[in-house]
Structure 1
Amino acid sequence: MGRKPTITRGQLLDLAEEIVRTEGAKALTIDALARAAGISKGGVQYSFVSKDDLVRALIERWTSQFDAMLDADETSSATDLIRSYIRAMRASQQAPNAKMAGLMITYLQDPANMQETRDWYQGIFDRIGMASAEAQAARVAFLAVEGLFLLRIVGIDEDGAWTGFLDDIEMVLDRLLGPA
Structure 2
Amino acid sequence: MGRKPTISREGLLDVATEILRNDGARALTIDALAKAAGISKGGVQYSFSSKDDLIRALVSRWTEQIDALLELDQQTDPVALVRRYIHTMRASENAMDSKMAGLLIAFYQDHQNLLDTRAWYISVLAKLEGDSPGARAARIAFLAVEGLLMLRAVGVEPPWNQRLDEIEASLP
* TM-score of the superposed pair, with normalisation by structure 1: 0.85
1:178 counterpart residue number = none
| Counterpart residue identity of residue 97, structure 1 | D
Q: What pairs with 1:87-126 in structure 2 (closer than 5 Å)?
A: 87-94=87-94, 96-126=96-126
2:132 counterpart residue number = 132
Q: CA deviation at 1:133?
A: 3.0
Structure 1: unaligned runs, 5 residues or longer: 175-180
Structure 1 stretch 91-100 or stretch 78-87: which is displaced more?
Answer: 91-100
**Residue 167 (structure 2) aligned to one of 157, 164, 169:** 169
Q: CA deviation at 1:5?
A: 7.9
Structure 2: unaligned runs, 5 residues or longer: none
Task: Give the count of matched residue pairs.
Answer: 168
CA deviations over 1:91-140 (Å, ceiling 9, x no partner): 11337333200000000000110111111110011111143332222111
| Counterpart residue identity of residue 60, structure 1 | S
| Counterpart residue identity of residue 9, structure 2 | R
| Counterpart residue identity of residue 69, structure 1 | L
Distance (whole Å) between structure 2 residues aligned to residue 12 and residue 95 of structure 1? 16
* TM-score of the superposed pair, with normalisation by structure 2: 0.89
2:67 counterpart residue number = 67
2:27 counterpart residue number = 27
| Counterpart residue identity of residue 83, structure 1 | R
| Counterpart residue identity of residue 37, structure 2 | A
| Counterpart residue identity of residue 57, structure 2 | A
Identity across the alignment (%) = 56
CA deviations over 1:29-80 (Å, ceiling 9, x no partner): 1111111112111111110011100000011111111112223432111111
Does residue 54 of structure 1 match 2:16? no
- The answer to whether the 8 A contact 1:30-1:45 is kept is yes
Distance (whole Å) between structure 2 residues aligned to residue 51 and residue 75 of structure 1? 38
| Counterpart residue identity of residue 160, structure 2 | W
1:156 counterpart residue number = 157
Distance (whole Å) between structure 2 residues aligned to residue 96 and residue 74 of structure 1? 26
Distance (whole Å) between structure 1 residues aligned to residue 70 and residue 52 of structure 2? 27
- The answer to whether the 8 A contact 2:20-2:99 is kept is yes
- The answer to whether the 8 A contact 2:5-2:38 is kept is no
Aligned-residue CA RMSD in angstroms? 1.9
- The answer to whether the 8 A contact 2:134-2:171 is kept is no
3-state SS of the aligned residue for 1:141?
helix
1:144 counterpart residue number = 144
Following TM superposition, where does structure 1 have runs of at least 4 consecutive aligned residues deviating by more than 6 angstroms?
A: none
3-state SS of the aligned residue for 1:49?
coil
